[in-house]
Amino acid sequence: MKKLLVVAALGMFTLGFSQNYQNGYNDYNDYQGSISSINWGQVASYLGLNNNQVNQLTVLNNRYPDQNAWNRAYSKQPNRWYTDRYSAMEKIMTPEQYKRFYAKYYQGQNPKIKFDNEYKKHHGKPQKNHDKYQMKHDERFNDRDHHDDHHR
């Protein structure tokens, strides 16, 4: 019984502090954006990729054609997609090609941060479930520094 309660409490805690994107937006949208926002023909030309590299990137880009396929791989760890994806891309490209790709298409940023910023730019800040439990500063301290009583 105790184990069941601990598991339930951990599950509620995890769900309570996870991000909820608005309007059905989720990590799969970030994954799809990492593919659809880039013209892969231009990438191949710009980096001088050979046919084998182009074929491997095509397979990588088509690995999860829908949300269900993506969920089978990442439902338990949705933030793992970008590490897996960019590690695979790094293996497909030469170190110099990958460095040029990363600099041009992500301006040296972590791709996950880039997609989070894109989301925020278009949809506002992702809501967190625990925001409703946070009180404003003035509610906690009645518009004065909480140390005021100690200094009088």
Q: Where are the domains of the chain?
A: 23-124
pLDDT per residue over 22-39, tens digit each? Answer: 444 578 888 888 898 899
Torsions phi, psi for 42 (to 5 deg): -65, -35
pLDDT band for position 106 (cuts 50, 70, 90): confident
Mean pLDDT of 133-137: 39
User: What average pLDDT is seen over the chain?
Assistant: 72
Nearest alpha carbon to residue 101 among 47, 32, 24: 47
pLDDT for residue 139? 41
pLDDT for residue 122? 65
Give the residue with greater pLDDT, 99 vs 151: 99
Give the residue with greater pLDDT, 61 vs 14: 61
Percent of the chain with pLDDT over 90: 35
Least confident segment among 45-49, 113-117, 123-127, 134-138: 134-138
Q: How far apart are CA 54 and CA 16, in angstroms?
A: 42
Q: Which amino acid is at 121?
A: K
Measured CA to CA in angstroms, residue 54 lies from 32, 48, 63, 102, 119 at distances of: 18, 10, 14, 17, 29
The answer to whether residues 17 and 129 touch, using CB atoms and an 8 Å cutoff, is yes
Mean pLDDT of 44-73: 96
pLDDT for residue 118? 67
Q: How far apart are CA 141 and CA 43, in angstroms?
A: 55
Nearest alpha carbon to residue 27 among 132, 126, 131: 126
